[in-house]
Structure 1
């Protein structure tokens, strides 16, 4: 604070001579212009004003004489008061000449004095910028009394000038305030620069000291850098580079190599739920336990070499080189490792649970296997373990490699499937249980890959969802289905055409623009919103996606689109969430219908009870026999779907007969 006041004081003294020169010049100018009046009071004013200027100069010299000592102590209060009073006295002199002279002077003299006063006020916004209060008082004394004097005179022109003077005074004082703030910021920046230079100077000194000691620490630093390059900083395990470049001397003949790739299960839930700090602590605990377990297994199997690596994220790789490992011992050892890793972890008083999916690659060879290739194979097996449901142990095989290559080829082909004509829509009827009248047709997607041939939806739909190709494919399906439904309407003017039901992926629902896209498609195809049914699975109740999915479904429902919950009873626990979502119907999964045992029927009855309480329709899938239809009808199911009423068919047109049973005209 003392430094800031000192800088303001220095800035005030630096600008003071400029203001003093301008003020003296203004006095002499006024003398030349108005001196012809020969008014004694005016000449007295000139003498007093020049005397005030001389006193101001003397005060300035006095203040400058002792300025060097103000950097370490406060500015003497009397110097501060003297300088400010001398500045204000000059303003009072001009106030006096304006107050007395405006009524007395001729018109040109009046305007000359006003111009001089205005110029002094304008200049004060800069020369007195360092004086926050005194500067504004100086400007006010120059302009406001003169404006008030003109306002009191019975002269319209002078009254207008007076009003302009008040406005000018306000503008000048505002400008002065802005200049003061700008000056403060400039001084602050200058102090910051000085601090930065000082810090840089200190840093330079430190660097010089470090450089002087560098020769003594080069060897230690090199070892440390090498360690950091080959080890994970969080867990202290080997990293990828360390695993590939580790230095060891293998035996003359390598009989057996074993690579394990471990992918932690449910780690993301802990990382997202408790935060990355907890996730880091858990990874450290896993690394410590894994190291102990691998050391134990290496001792039991007599391994020549073993290493543990944090491959990245929540993934770990293990490498064993043994003289021989009985095949029957590998799976029990991996299972033991998995079980021990899944034991609870006590961290900061909290018990955390995770699991592990393990991929295994083993090879008997006389030469070391390429580490990257071997870990890639084990990683492929671990990915398959994850895909199969986590918590599994999968051994690499060529069959698995073929499956992965097929999945890759399908994933690449799916990128353009919605544009290359390889996708087709088939439709399966949904009928009213009592009348068997077709009330809707479900659009079912079929794909014939150019490279592989027909591919089951159970295979390509999950691939499309994993790669996000489902977004474009889903949009294509919706477009085609709505166009088909509009065609049914146009060709059945005398009857109510059935609705079209479209399965929708959770990946589509969580897109913020999904509801708008549906609305655009309905508008472009001309299909009414109440003729579209969006079928969703119980994945909409997943906490991770529920909020955005609910927003999309509410928007669709508000448009008039029906929302059906597909595969009811097979996914998430949906009962607690069902009332929160805008559902119109639930579709009981076909597994409960086709089983037809007591437990399955209990699920159907329970679903019916819940649905009726919520005011929802119930649709049963997988109806293949008349007995199933009669049983479901007796239970109170509203609508039915299955091979008994029709298989998925590629439709060209839809016609309705008098019996209300639709005839579907198939494409050749």
Structure 2
């Protein structure tokens, strides 16, 4: 099929070249016709005029065919079928052969009647036409040879057989005819080779173009695939794989875009409560499904134009131009989270603590807003308010800075560089010092003096309370040891955290410290807050207290009356003394002394001693003594001081 197609295109090219030279051939033939007719017109040669007119007419027809072909070819080149190609080839061939016959006829009928000069003229013209045909008619292999033979061979033969004969001239004409045929054959083959080479070059060029187009197409497809893959990778880089929410980078990017359209944005930091327990008890697969469940809830409940992201393991962030608290969206979410769900046939209860921050009302940039919302959620969890919602305020920032500063100090474990102990006296009804209480103090190099109510919770929440508590106890015991050299009956009280009491080895720690200091156990008092009675591990705490009490350590319940402990639990606690909180002393001026009388009655029922804290005036001291109180503590007797000798003298 390919060979047939190639042959058609070669024939078409040969025909194009033939018709390209056809007009010149007609003009040359017409010129030669005029010259010959001029040479023989005056002679009495039969039918010479008829020959001339027939030849002129025929040349005119060839001219019409040539012009028609060029018009047809230029307009309908694309529709030149093999059938049309054959038609135009036949017309061309017919015209050339008829032209050759015309010259053959004139040679036969004219040469016998011409003189020597005329014979030479006709022979030269015929030879010139044959010579021209080797080039002009070279595109057509057969037609060109026929034309050369018709124009030259009849004339040469006639020259041999006419009287007088010119055999040499005839022989030269015949030889010249043979040479012209060889030349035509060579020219035809040269043209054919050129055409075929052109087609090969065209095929090669087409092949190269096709290959180039394939490369371009492949490159285009590759570019599109690279673009698609790049887009996928960018999306993957900005998307959390587990939940399909935005990751940190994706969330921040969308928030920045949202900030271009809205002057205020609200950020919410969702911290999943006790997620570690879910992973530990239900397995990480369930934990992952819980995170996916939460992601679905967030997307379903939150309004449009809200950006949702997963910030960390069990932390989610939300950015919205709307105040979700006012839209009740947070309430809907909290209610949805509070409902137990079944994942892989396992009941899972989920609770979220939510911190909020507004940008730019609360902070200066987007990342600060997320951090601020995180601080608010952390504050809630640290203070036991899980499941609540809190908006950031600058007091939270101060506490965060305090926490960070404290953590750095606690990691150094060089407590003496930042902490020190102060002491306040506890006196009897005559004002004699019977004991001293140890008070921890912190002076931060940047934040200044920080009260215990601020730094003790941080020490507890960061897991340093055991080490810090040992440092306080050790220093307090060593200090009272020196004081007891001049005051042998003096005892010292030290506050301890419920976390310390939960440690199974706390009892042994106290024994080791007492042994190391040489202070007797009855000279040490441990003060615990009333909130310990509400602890879920109360039995373990009571067990530790009983062990301590058995070796002689005194137990005081500090700040009594500020909590919500029941009398039943109070009875189970093996304590020696209740310390009445200073708030009851302050309230005596406005609300009377009924509450203090009630506490004294309770203490009497449980055989507990009483120490009244916060005595600041002589009037309070007298009034409390009148009620039956026998031990007191407060600024009226002494201010906390690093040197207890000042109030022991």
TM bin, normalised by shorter chain, reads: 0.5 to 0.7
With structure 1 as the length reference, what TM-score do the two structures score?
A: 0.52
Q: Determine if the alignment matches structure 1 residue 337 to structure 2 residue 330.
A: yes
Match of 1:513 in 2: 505
Spell out the pairing of 1:640-659 with structure 2 (5 A cutoff): 640-651=632-643, 653=645
Q: Which of 551, 558, 580 is residue 550 of structure 2 equivalent to?
A: 558
What SS is found at the alignment partner of 1:524? helix
Q: 1:517-596, aligned counterparts within 5 Å?
A: 517-571=509-563, 573-596=565-588
Deviates more, 1:557-566 or 1:544-553: 544-553
Deviation at 1:487, TM superposition (A): 1.8
TM-score (ref. length: structure 2) = 0.54
Residue 470 of structure 2 is aligned to residue 462 of structure 1: no
Tell whether 2:301 aligns with 1:293.
Answer: yes
CA distance 1:629–1:373, change in 2 (3 Å): closer
Aligned partner of 1:412 in structure 2 is: 408
CA contact (8 A) 2:324 2:330 kept: no
Correspondences of 1:130-169 after superposition (within 5 Å): none
Deviations 1:526-577 (A, max 9, x none): 1111011000113433444434433322221111000111112323535332
Mapped to 1, the partners of 2:597 and 2:437 lie a distance apart of 24
Larger radius of gyration: 2
Give the whole-Å Cα distance in 2 for the aligned partners of 1:237 and 1:450: 45
Q: Hey, what's the Cα distance between the residues in 1 that align with 2:448 and 2:611?
A: 33
For residues 36-81 of structure 1, the C-alpha deviation after alignment (integer angstroms, 9 at most, x for no partner) is xxxxxxxxxxxxxxxxxxxxxxxxxxxxxxxxxxxxxxxxxxxxxx
The 5 Å alignment of 1:303-382 reads 303=305, 305-307=306-308, 309=310, 311-313=312-314, 315-320=315-320, 322=321, 329=323, 332-333=326-327, 337-338=330-331, 341-342=334-335, 345=339, 356-363=353-360, 375-382=370-377
1:114-129 maps to which residues of 2 (within 5 A)? Answer: none
Q: C-alpha distance in 1, partners of 2:378/2:296?
A: 24
Corresponding residue of 2:141: none
Query: CA 1:567/1:255 → structure 2, altered by over 3 Å: closer, same or farther?
Result: same
Kept after mapping to 2: 8 A contact 1:585/1:616: yes
CA deviation string 1:89-128 (max 9, x = no partner):
xxxxxxxxxxxxxxxxxxxxxxxxxxxxxxxxxxxxxxxx
- Which residue of the partner structure matches residue 84 of structure 2? none
Deviation at 1:647? 1.5
1:270, 1:638 → 2: CA distance? 50
Determine the structure 2 residue equivalent to 1:255: 262
Question: Offset of 1:442 from its aligned partner?
Answer: 0.5
Q: Distance in 2 between matches of 1:498 and 1:406?
A: 36
Secondary structure at the residue paired with 2:648? strand
Q: Cα distance, 1:360 vs. partner?
A: 2.0
Structure 2: how far apart are the matches of 1:243 and 1:597? 61
When residues 400 and 351 of structure 1 are mapped into structure 2, their CA distance, relative to the original with a 3 A threshold, is closer
Q: How does 1:172-321 map to 2 (within 5 A)?
A: 230-231=239-240, 236=243, 238=245, 240=247, 244=251, 250=257, 253-256=260-263, 257-263=265-271, 289-295=297-303, 298=304, 303=305, 305-307=306-308, 309=310, 311-313=312-314, 315-320=315-320
1:486 to partner: Cα distance: 1.8
Q: Secondary structure at the match of 1:312?
A: coil
The answer to whether the aligner puts 1:487 opposite 2:482 as a matched pair is: yes
Q: Distance in 1 between matches of 2:430 and 2:389?
A: 51
Counterpart selection for 2:437 from 442, 458, 473: 442
Q: Do residues 616 (structure 1) and 608 (structure 2) align?
A: yes
- In structure 1, what is the equivalent of residue 648 of structure 2? 664
1:251, 1:647 → 2: CA distance?
57
**Cα RMSD for the two superposed structures:** 4.4
SS in structure 2 opposite 1:649? coil
1:423 match: 419
Instruction: Indicate if the aligned counterparts of 2:248 and 2:310 stay in contact, CA closer than 8 A.
Output: no
The alpha-carbon deviation at position 231 of structure 1 amounts to 5.0
Matches of 1:546 and 1:273 in 2, distance apart?
A: 25
**Residue ranges of structure 1 left out of the alignment (5+ in a row):** 1-218, 655-662
**Quick check: 2:420–2:442 contact (8 Å CA) kept in 1?**
yes
Deviations 1:113-153 (A, max 9, x none): xxxxxxxxxxxxxxxxxxxxxxxxxxxxxxxxxxxxxxxxx
* In structure 2, distance between residues paired with 1:353 and 1:424: 43
Deviations 1:577-601 (A, max 9, x none): 2222221111122122212267684
Contact kept? 1:238, 1:310, Cα under 8 Å: no
CA 1:237/1:507 → structure 2, altered by over 3 Å: closer, same or farther? farther
In structure 1, C-alpha distance between the alignment counterparts of 2:237 and 2:252, rounded to whole Å: 13
Structure 1 residue matching 2:436: 3-state secondary structure? strand
In 2, the alpha carbon distance for the partners of 1:552 and 1:510 equals 8
TM-fit CA distance, 1:516: 1.5
- State the number of aligned residues: 412
Q: In the alignment, does 2:390 pair up with 1:383?
A: no
The CA distance in 1 between the partners of 2:467 and 2:636, in whole Å, is: 33
CA contact (8 A) 1:585 1:618 kept: yes
User: Any conservation in 2 of the 1:342–1:355 contact (CA below 8 Å)?
Assistant: no
C-alpha deviation, 1:609, in angstroms: 2.8
Please tell me whether the aligned partners of residues 342 and 353 of structure 1 are also in contact (alpha carbons under 8 angstroms).
no
* Equivalent position SS for 1:596: helix
C-alpha distance 262-599 of structure 1, shift in aligned 2 (>3 A): farther
1:647 is paired with a residue of what secondary structure? coil
Aligned counterparts of 1:603 and 1:280: Cα–Cα separation in 2: 54
**CA 1:623 to 1:346, structure 2 compared with 1: closer, same or farther past 3 Å?**
same
Contact kept, 8 Å, 2:266 with 2:356, in 1: the verdict is no
| Distance of 1:223 and 1:286 partners within structure 2 | 25
Question: In the alignment, is the contact (CA less than 8 A) between 1:308 and 1:318 conserved in 2?
Answer: yes
Cα distance 1:389–1:523, how it changes in 2: closer, same or farther (>3 A)?
closer
Q: Within 2, Cα distance between the matches of 1:523 and 1:259?
A: 55
Match of 2:617 in 1: 625
